[in-house]
Amino acid sequence: MNTKSAQLYESAKQYIPGGVNSPVRAFRSVGLDPVYIRQGEGSALFDVDGNKYVDYVCSWGPLILGHRDPRIQRVITEQSARGTSFGANTEIEVRFAQRITEIYPSIDRVRMVNSGTEATMSAVRLARGYTGRNRIIKFEGCYHGHGDSFLIKAGSGVLTLGIPGSPGITEGTARDTLVAEFNNLKSVEKLLDAHKGEVAAVILEPVMGNAGLIPPVDCFLRDVRRLTASREVLLIFDEVITGFRLGLGGAQEKYGIRPDLTCLGKIIGGGLPVGAFGGRKDIMAHLAPEGPVYQAGTLSGNPLALHAGFETVSILQKENPYPLLEERAQALEQGIRENLAKLKLSWTSNRTGSMLCFFFTDQEVTTYKKAMTADTALFSKYFAAMLKRGIYLAPSQFEISFVSTAHTETDIERTIGAHYDSLKEIL
Torsion of CA 192, 197, 200, 201, to 10 degrees: 20
Contact 228, 235 (CB under 8 A): yes
Contact 418, 391 (CB under 8 A): yes
143 classed as catalytic = yes
266 classed as catalytic = yes
13 classed as catalytic = no
Rounded-to-integer distance, Cα 276 and Cα 333, Å = 31
Helices (H), 150-297: 157-160, 171-176, 185-194, 220-230, 250-255, 281-284
Triad 168, 172, 178: Cα angle to 5°: 100
Torsion of CA 81, 112, 146, 21, to 10 degrees: 0
Contact 271, 313 (CB under 8 A): no
Catalytic residue among 266, 368, 370, 411: 266
Catalytic residue among 47, 176, 238, 411: 238
Residue 250: how many CA atoms within 13 Å on its side-chain side? 30
Q: How many CB atoms lie within 10 A of CB 280?
A: 17
* CA proximity to 337, closest of 419, 251, 223: 419
Rounded-to-integer distance, Cα 181 and Cα 177, Å = 13
Query: Which residues are known to be catalytic?
Result: 143, 238, 266
